Amino acid sequence: MKDPFLAEFAFQTRAIHSHQEPDPTTGAVITPLYQTSTFEQEDAGVHKGFDYTRSGNPTVAALEGCLASLECGKHGYAFASGMGALTTLSLALFQPGDHILVGDDVYGGTFRFFTKVFQRFGVEASFVNMTDPQAVASAIRPETKMIYLETPTNPLLKLVDIEAFVALARKHNLLTCIDNTFASPYLQNPLTMGVDIVLHSTTKYIGGHSDVVGGALILRDDSLHDVIKFHQNSLGATPDPFASWLTLRGLKTLGVRMRAHCENAMMLAQALEAHPAVENVVYPGLPSHPQHELAKKQMKSGFGGMIAVRVKGGEAEARRFMQHLKIFTLAESLGGVESLVEHPGRMTHLSVDPAVKVALGITDNLLRLSVGIEDGADLLADINQALAAVYSTAQVR
Ligand SMILES: Cc1ncc(COP(=O)(O)O)c(C=O)c1O
């Protein structure tokens, strides 16, 4: 998959044009939606590059090429969901008896897949605090094949030093995979730091409008291309052309949206941190974040749209605050243009063992904000009025 735009143009230009040339037959400026399951063949096995949509489709291929370009990779593979990307990757690369090291606070669905599904096939996962290189090093076994992690993590936005972890993995001849969903390719390109595989839930920032579910894998070198391509087709967790078309449309504005997400989130994080009703705020862009220096080094264009905040009091105050918000919608998921709020302890992380929740810092008063791209002053006013309604304290400034 060749990308003529990669070296020459900046992110936002690639997002709009990479692998999206005007349609050669009609001149359509926007990549057409090839909503077809099959393609005419001139003779048996003679066709224009596509024979059946599970194996390949021009709309899906445009999305795959553009994603590869934005992650500074060479090969992109689209899937029906982020979980479809993970299951395909796992079935493509591992055999019974293999062992994988996984971040201890990865997305709950990832945890569920490794513990409740993949384990049945004889592949064991150990969950490790990836911010502790010593713990990671001592968890490596002779049968360990890969280190899999997220950075920033969910919900507490811990960062992993990508270059340090790549060095450790290389020393032990292990593959590395980063789920880059929270950062998006606009803020962080792990492949340029030596990571082997990037995974996305394109449902989030990449699609960006909370109207389509999808996933992706991206590779930089050729060695894993054949095996991933083979399993993408064999397992069939491939996306529908319309879902790919919607995702591609969202992708065009990723840079613009991410700048707005980051700007709004930084402003709200600062305001929340100064509010008397707030116990603490976790946002990589704040100097109070324990890994702020690493965030500056690793997240090249901003600190993202996710904020974790502990309000004063307990679960009752946290839930009342959410109920008083008018613009922020109480919902799971993240990365859309609209602002969302959720209570990790009761929602996204409900199935996490109570002791693990305590260890990870998922307290009863913790809330997660996915800051959207509405007007920043309106979002601030919304938070102000909701905090004032719960605590009757001074306004956030
Ligand atoms: C970080 C992360 N990775 C992967 C997934 C799974 O993606 P999907 O819901 O598209 O299957 C999610 C979903 O919330 C996620 O937050």
**Amino acid at residue number 162:** I
The Cα 90–Cα 113 span in angstroms is: 10
Task: Tell which atom from ligand 1 comes closest to the C-alpha of 202.
Answer: 10
- How much is the pTM? 0.96
* Strand, helix or coil for residue 270: helix
- The residue with tokens 């449902």 is 203
Q: How far is the CA of 209 from the centre of ligand 1 (A)?
A: 15
Angle between helix axes 315-324 and 376-391 (nearest 10 degrees) is 130
Task: Tell which atom from ligand 1 comes closest to the C-alpha of 150.
Answer: 1
- By residue count, the chain amounts to 397
Hey, which of 79, 83, 158, 349 would you mutate to test ligand 1's pocket, going by the most ligand atoms within 8 Å of its Cβ?
A: 83
The CATH number corresponding to 11-251 among 3.100.10.20, 3.40.640.10, 3.10.180.10, 3.60.20.10 equals 3.40.640.10
Q: How far is the CA of 199 from the centre of ligand 1 (A)?
A: 10
Backbone Cα Rg of the chain = 21
| DSSP state, residue 43 | B
Structure tokens at 179: 């789920």
- 3-state helix vs strand vs coil in the chain, percent to 5: 40, 15, 45
**Amino acid at residue number 193:** M
**Amino acid at residue number 163:** E
Q: Regarding the domain with residue range 255-391, which homologous superfamily does it belong to in the CATH classification?
A: Aspartate Aminotransferase, domain 1 (3.90.1150.10)
Q: How far is the CA of 313 from the centre of ligand 1 (A)?
A: 30
Hey, which of 81, 88, 102, 107 would you mutate to test ligand 1's pocket, going by the most ligand atoms within 8 Å of its Cβ?
A: 107
pLDDT digits (tens, 9 = 90+) for 257-303: 999 999 999 999 999 999 999 999 999 999 999 999 999 999 989 99
Q: What is the pLDDT of residue 351?
A: 80
H or E, element range at 319: helix 315-324
Q: What is the pLDDT of residue 1?
A: 42
Q: Show pLDDT as tens, one digit a residue, over the chain (397 residues).
A: 455 556 789 999 999 999 999 999 999 999 999 999 999 999 999 999 999 999 999 999 999 999 999 999 999 999 999 999 999 999 999 999 999 999 998 998 999 999 999 999 999 999 999 999 899 999 999 999 999 999 999 999 999 999 999 999 999 999 999 999 999 999 999 999 999 999 999 999 999 999 999 999 999 989 999 999 999 999 999 999 999 999 999 999 999 999 999 999 999 999 999 999 999 999 999 999 999 999 999 998 999 999 999 999 999 999 999 999 999 999 999 999 999 999 999 998 888 889 988 888 999 999 999 999 999 999 999 999 999 999 985 555 5
> Where in the sequence numbering do the catalytic residues fall?
54, 107, 179, 204
Q: What is the pLDDT of residue 4?
A: 54
Task: Tell which atom from ligand 1 comes closest to the C-alpha of 154.
Answer: 1
Q: Where are the domains of the chain?
A: 11-251, 255-391
